[in-house]
Amino acid sequence: MVRSGLIPVLSLFCLTVALPVLAQGPVPPVLASEAPPAPTDLAAFWDAMPPRPAAPLFTADAVTAEVQRIARAPGGLVAVEQLGSSVEGRPIWHLTVGRGPLAVLLWSQMHGDEPSATPALFDLLDTITAHRESPRVARLLDRLTLHVVPMLNPDGAERYQRRNAQGIDVNRDALRLQTPEGRALKAVRDRTRAAIGFNLHNQNWRTSVGRTPPKPATISLLAVAFDEARTEDAGRVLTKKTSAVLRDALEPLIPGQIGRYDDEFEVRAFGDNVTKWGTPVVLIESGAVAGERPDQQLTRLNFVALLTALDALASGRVHEATTARYESLPENEDRLFHTIVRNATLLAGTGVPGFVADVGVVGQRVVRRSDGQRRLGLAARIEDVGDLRVFGALEVIEAEGKFLAPLFDPALQPGARVTIGASPTWPATITQGAPPAFLLLTRGESPDTYVVERVIRVGDTDRRQ
Ligand SMILES: [Zn+2]
């Protein structure tokens, strides 16, 4: 049974929530115009917004606090409803804004460990609330009604895991509907009968696009199919055109890093069934991105993409887009490592003589808990050793003419001299599955001596964010 109905707003007023000031200051130029927004201007607008925690640290409680803050915002622009409860009783929120005839349904974090879009949805709602009088936002409110489910799977988010508290992948429950989270999504779909839906996920950090060299698929798009034949009806044309708009919004920010997600029909999935039920769905998958603060980069891209797509739906400009602009996106592949050390002579520590190889390390965002705190982490391991020239990486370390050994002595520092025999054996090795901790060495003055140039560690807790 899905509980439904409006939560008494008065009860929200009884809670003490720190309210940030929503300034109705001068209209930002990017919202003052009704012309298509420049992606770089929208990105700069996001950069000027108050920072939020990195998306993986944005908890179910934080989502509830944000929802309550928005419910209390002056003007009553956003209606708040508890759509249902998770298996463990956490609220599943539904926020509605706008008075337009075109209903748009957006849901995020159906998979608990796929959070990048969740803060972007609140950034979007804050932008709408704070700048409701601006020409761009006023048009959006006149033409669209947005239905936003910012965190569909709060129990999974609490554990930072894909599945819900029953251990079910909610995205394979669209037919059997045994999860309260799935039932909540179906209920809001059936009630709103939205004209288009946005299904917001994260994909594996191995996902790549292109071949020369493979780049991270930082965002992948899918105009979801509703049958095995991948039939193109009016709804699928709309989602393809919307995806074309999304591509144009993202291309200047992440050139060559946009992929097309496999469009095979999955009979149990929500995107496919929501489309079949009459709400054509665009899937947005956030992947890997190089550089500092990847989580914030992904949230920023989601914000730019969503605001641009909603603006195009509100203006009608979406209909001018071509489906070919979406269809010509390269398909997702799995050719990305987190880190590759290329062309080193490996002193692998397994008792074999040195040989030339590349070493590929995979890494994935995790959330670690210690002392009651949640911290960002990166789970990493050696995944492949050999000729990895067909793969790309977020970080490439060129080591031609150098030697790579496992970090057999954690006390070693750059500049240290070490003596290593021709076929060394250590407890630490450079083999598939081993921890990615290495010594990058240069040849010393005699055949068995080496100088530590660099200690390389990939993974562990990343405290920079
Ligand atoms: Zn997912």
H or E element at residue 312: helix 294-315
pLDDT at 1: 36
Q: Determine the average pLDDT of the residues in 418-425.
A: 97
What are the tens digits of pLDDT across the range 246-281?
Answer: 999 999 999 999 999 999 999 999 999 999 999 999
pLDDT at 24: 57
Q: What is the 302 CA–ligand 1 centroid distance (Å)?
A: 15
Residues 306 and 366 in one domain: no
Q: What is the 366 CA–ligand 1 centroid distance (Å)?
A: 15
Residues 6+ apart with CB under 8 A from 445: none
Q: What is the 213 CA–ligand 1 centroid distance (Å)?
A: 26
pLDDT at 2: 38
Q: Say if residue 62's pLDDT is above 80.
A: yes
What are the tens digits of pLDDT across the range 193-251?
Answer: 999 999 999 999 999 999 989 999 999 999 999 999 999 999 999 999 999 999 999 99
Q: What is the 286 CA–ligand 1 centroid distance (Å)?
A: 9
Last residue of a domain, one of 277, 298, 327: 327
- The CA angle 80-245-132, to the nearest 5 degrees, is 35
Residues 6+ apart with CB under 8 A from 188: 83, 94, 105, 147, 149
Return mean pLDDT, the chain: 93
- Cβ contact 134:31 at 8 Å: yes
pLDDT at 371: 86
Q: What is the 110 CA–ligand 1 centroid distance (Å)?
A: 7
> In this structure, how many other beta carbons lie within 10 angstroms of the beta carbon of residue 320?
12
Give a yes or no: residue 301 inside a domain. yes
pLDDT at 413: 97
**pLDDT band at 460; cut points 50, 70, 90:** confident
Give a yes or no: residue 73 inside a domain. yes
Q: What percent of the chain lies above the pLDDT cut of 90? A: 90
Q: What is the 204 CA–ligand 1 centroid distance (Å)?
A: 9
Q: Which of 129, 113, 62, 115 lies closest to 296, judged by CA?
A: 115
Which residue did the predictor score with more confidence, 24 or 359?
359
Three-class DSSP category at 225: coil
Expressed in percent and rounded to 5, the helix, strand and coil fractions of the chain are 30, 30, 45
Which domain does 355 fall in, by range? Answer: 336-464
Q: Say how far apart CA 242 and CA 265 lie, in whole Å.
A: 19
CATH number at residue 369: 2.30.40.10
Q: What is the 362 CA–ligand 1 centroid distance (Å)?
A: 19
Q: What is the 106 CA–ligand 1 centroid distance (Å)?
A: 14
Residues 28 and 141 in one domain: yes
Residues 323 and 374 in one domain: no
Q: What is the 359 CA–ligand 1 centroid distance (Å)?
A: 29
Q: What is the 250 CA–ligand 1 centroid distance (Å)?
A: 20
What are the tens digits of pLDDT across the range 9-20?
Answer: 333 333 333 344
Q: What is the 165 CA–ligand 1 centroid distance (Å)?
A: 16
Q: What is the 188 CA–ligand 1 centroid distance (Å)?
A: 19
Residues 297 and 320 in one domain: yes
Q: What is the 224 CA–ligand 1 centroid distance (Å)?
A: 14
Residues 112 and 261 in one domain: yes
CATH number at residue 243: 3.40.630.10
What are the tens digits of pLDDT across the range 297-346?
Answer: 999 999 999 999 999 999 999 999 999 999 999 999 999 999 999 999 99
Q: What is the 203 CA–ligand 1 centroid distance (Å)?
A: 7
Token digits of residue 224: 């979801």
pLDDT at 372: 84
Residues 167 and 275 in one domain: yes
Residues 87 and 176 in one domain: yes
Residues 346 and 248 in one domain: no
Q: Say how far apart CA 421 and CA 199 lie, in whole Å.
A: 56
Residues 302 and 450 in one domain: no
Prediction pTM value: 0.93
User: Total structural domains in the chain?
Assistant: 2
Measured over all CA atoms, what is the biggest interatomic distance in the chain, rounded to whole angstroms?
79
